[in-house]
Amino acid sequence: MTRASFVVLDGADGCGKSTQARLLVDRMRLERGIEPLHVREPGSTQLGERLRAILFDRALDLSPRVELLLFAAARAQLLSELVAPALAAGRDVVCERFHPSTFAYQSVAGGLDEELVMRTLLEHANKPEPDALIVLDLPLELALARRGEASDRIEAKDEAYHGRVVEGYRIWSRRHARTRLVDATGDPASVHARVWEAVRRAR
């Protein structure tokens, strides 16, 4: 039997992460006969869900620097409390969002110094490392249409910001060989076939 893998699904708001995560979890359960752990960022731990409520609260005005620190704290907690034990127990892990989101939103779109972002993440939230990072790539108009009305503080930022987010993911993917940029257009089953192929190649 293959060993457990830690797979990240990332990409802009509305690109299809949650839809693809569910399909991937079903596929992994069938493949290895063990229930995968499915988590989302920020969240999934008690601390993470509380930080999520703060991060997405439209009544708060948070700078990209403060966002970075809160996202990093949520990620550190998730990795130690849930991801590491699941992998140690032989369970696959599917995580919605990870470092590429922090790079795209807080640095490329938010303007925060790239060195600071990477240093903070590598210092505080880098173990265990994902075996595969899949970025779902969708043109901004399609992602906005799938997403619908903005529902939280970050989704409510303007279209220029979200355009930079999409570009930020592409920049990240060009720079990190372990990240696969997957075309997220088409129906969920076609996207899943591309995601599964990318996961297979990465492991």
Nearest residue (CB) to ligand ATP, 49 versus 113: 49
Binding map of ligand ATP across residues 145-164, x = CB under 6 A, - = no contact: -xx-----------------
- Candidates 55, 117, 191, 195; binder of ligand ATP (CB under 6 A) is 191
Residue whose Cβ sits closest to Mg ion: 18
d(C-alpha 103, C-alpha 89), whole Å: 30
Nearest residue (CB) to ligand ATP, 15 versus 108: 15
Q: From the CB of 58, what's the least distance to ligand ATP, in Å?
A: 15
- Candidates 59, 115, 187, 201; binder of ligand ATP (CB under 6 A) is 187
Q: From the CB of 71, what's the least distance to Mg ion, in Å?
A: 16
Q: Does 41 bind ligand ATP (CB under 6 A)?
A: no
Distances (CA, A) of 194 to 26, 136, 137, 147, 186: 15, 10, 12, 21, 11
Structure tokens at 179: 């990240």
Q: Does 151 bind Mg ion (CB under 5 A)?
A: no
Q: At what angle do helices 64-78 and 46-55 cross, to 10 degrees?
A: 160
Q: Does 130 bind ligand ATP (CB under 6 A)?
A: no
Are residues 117 and 106 in contact, defined by beta-carbon separation less than 8 angstroms? yes
Nearest residue (CB) to ligand ATP, 4 versus 51: 51
Burial-class residue 27 by CB neighbours within 10 Å (0-12, 13-18, 19+).
Answer: middle
Structure tokens at 19: 């839809």
Q: Does 19 bind ligand ATP (CB under 6 A)?
A: yes
Picked from ligand ATP, Mg ion, none, the partner binding residue 80 (CB below 5 to 8 A depending on kind) is none
Interface with ligand ATP by CB under 6 A: which residues? 13-19, 146-147, 187-188, 191
